[in-house]
Structure 1
Amino acid sequence: MQVLSLISTKGGVGKTTIAANLGGFFADAGFRVLLLDLDTQPTLSSYYELSHRAPGGTYELLAYNERDITQLISGTCIDGLDIVLSNDVHRQLNTLLLHAPDGRLRLRNLLSVFRKNYDLILIDTQGARSVLLEMAFLASDSAVSPVTPEILAARELQRGTLQLVKEVEPFRHLGIQPPPISLLINRIPAVSSNARLVQQTLRLVFRDQPGVQVLDAEVPSIEAFPKAATKGLPVHRVERHRPTGRQTPAAIEIIRSLATEMLPQWAMPLSLVTGKGAKHDLRT
């Protein structure tokens, strides 16, 4: 089982959109995928229509150490894609975990309950520095941090997200290896010299920094993403072919490129996704 988190200390950079669309893409490739919504503004929990709603969610998982997955897992309208809904309505989890002896490691210790049922867990997090964010990061095998090509977003990345990475380094003394972090340049406008400059600067700054890489895959700002969200569908099902006259690739190829770069060992089944729904069961 692979665990991938979407992290950033800045809100509005597209974590939820990336999590939802990666989840749908991997599910259509035949993998068993679980979305875990740790955002206190639970947008991911409402992205897809539910086929079944569990009585509990992230609050029961983290506050009560609930291990009965039937109490936690809701089904979505996408075959092979389930979700643990965010239901911390009073926003108590951060305080609870802050004062718990195992707070930052609780999720890491609980994820084994999902191992036999899922190939991939995708964790969406809140856009602010918190115990929940640190907990998700430490529970992950890898992490993606979307960053928009803007100067202020790049500064926040350096000040917030990458500072978090440095501050969890002491967990290595407990035998816990913080995961590598991949920067995803997201929402790139079609024409912007400033955006191109920020892209180039990010790649230059982090070219030789250990534990941090800038992904080759990039996500342009195209209408297909909000259109897919409105329909409650993965974007690769909404845009399977590049529109005439547009230079950027079709949404299906954008997501395929990102998914393949994150989990290259699954490249073959990912290459077979057509955008017409799940047709393969090629889990490895």
Structure 2
Amino acid sequence: MRVVSVVSTKDGVGKTTVAANLGGLLADSGLRVLLLDLDSQPTLSSYYALSRKADAGAYEFLALNLITPAQIVSKTVITGLDLILSNDDQGRLSTLLLHAPDGRLRLCNLLDNFRPRYELLLIDTQGVRSVLLEMAILASDLALSPIPPEMLAARELQRGTLTLMSELEPFRHLGIPPPPLRLLLNQVNSIQVDTRMIIHGLRETFAGTTNISVLDTVVPDRVAYLTAATLCLPVHRIETCRSRERRSPSALETMQALAIELFPEWREAISTVNRYTEAQ
């Protein structure tokens, strides 16, 4: 099972949108995907309609070590896409894990119970530094950080997310190295000159870095993503073809490109989503 955390120490960068749509595309590819919502503002938990809601969720999973899937895993209406709901609206988990001996490693220690059931675990995290965010990163094979091409977002990336990743390096001595970090340019309006300058600067900054890189895929600022969220559907089902007015790829093409770039081993399955959408 691959484990990917969608992370940023800045709120509003599109973490939930990326996690929901990436999970939806990969489920439509025939993969078994589990979403874990660790944000106390549970947007991911309400993105998709549920066909079955579990009695418990992320709080019982992490606070009580409850690992029985039938008790904590809800099923969405998207075939193959399951969800562990966020149910910690009072933020008790952060306090509990902060004082627990295994706090930052608890998720890592619990994941073996899910590996036979899923090909991918996608974790949506809080937009602030916390023990929950650190725990999610340390349990992951890969950290994916959406970043809008804005100066404030670029500064927060350096001050927040990159500093956090470097401060997790000591866990390497425990045999738990921090995962590679992939930066995803998100909500991009390519017409603006300052946008192009920031994108160019980010790519130059990390060009020679091994553990941090900027993905080639760029997610445009497109109304289709808002429409998809309103309809509780993955965006690749909403916008399957590029319009004549725009030269940029459709949402289907964008999400496929992102999924293939992150998971080249699943390229063949991801490419079949074309046939899925044509059949809708």
TM-score, L = length of structure 2? 0.98
Q: Does 1:106 align with 2:109?
A: no
Q: CA deviation at 1:278?
A: 11
Determine if contact 2:240/2:277 at 8 Å carries over to the other structure.
no
Partner of 2:170: 170
Residues 178-189 of structure 1: matches in 2 within 5 Å?
Answer: 178-189=178-189
> Helix, strand or coil for the counterpart of 1:56?
coil
Deviation at 1:275, TM superposition (A): 6.9
Root-mean-square deviation (Å): 1.2
Q: Does 1:144 align with 2:144?
A: yes
Match of 2:127 in 1: 127
The runs of 5 or more residues in structure 2 that have no matched partner are none
Partner of 1:64: 64
| Equivalent residue, structure 2, for 1:25 | 25
**Identity rate, percent:** 57
**Offset, 1:274:** 2.1
Name 1:194's counterpart in structure 2. Answer: 194
Unaligned 5+ runs, structure 1: 280-284
* Deviations 1:176-205, CA, capped at 9 Å, x for gaps: 121100000000014210110000000011
Give 1:145 deviation, angstroms. 0.4
| SS of structure 2 residue aligned to 1:216 | strand
Deviations 1:194-246 (A, max 9, x none): 11000000001111123100000110001110010000000000011111211
Deviations 1:136-168 (A, max 9, x none): 000000010000000110000000000010000
Describe the SS at the equivalent of 2:216. coil
Secondary structure of the structure 2 residue equivalent to 1:17: helix
User: Structure 1 residues 163 and 247 mapped into 2: Cα distance closer, same or farther (>3 Å)?
Assistant: same
SS of 1:162's partner is: helix
Tell me the equivalent position of 2:256.
Answer: 256
Q: Which amino acid aligns with 1:40?
A: S
Listed one character per residue, the Cα deviations across residues 41-95 of structure 1 (whole Å, up to 9, x for unaligned) are: 0000000000000000000001001121111100001000000000002210001
Write out per-residue CA displacement over residues 101-140 of structure 1, whole angstroms, 9 at most, x where no aligned residue: 1000000111111111111000000100000000000000
Structure 2 letter corresponding to 1:11: D
Aligned residue identity for 1:258: L
Letter in 2 for 1:66: L
Change (3 A) 1:32 1:163: same
Q: How many pairs does the alignment contain? A: 279
**Matching residue of 1:209:** 209
Residue 48 of structure 2: aligned partner: 48
CA–CA distance in structure 2, aligned partners of residues 60 and 44 of structure 1:
18
Q: Distance in 1 between matches of 2:278 and 2:216?
A: 26
Task: Write the distance in 2 (CA, Å) between the matches of 1:94 and 1:278.
Answer: 44
Asked if 2 retains the 8 angstrom alpha-carbon contact of 1:147 and 1:186, the reply is yes
Match of 1:82 in 2: 82
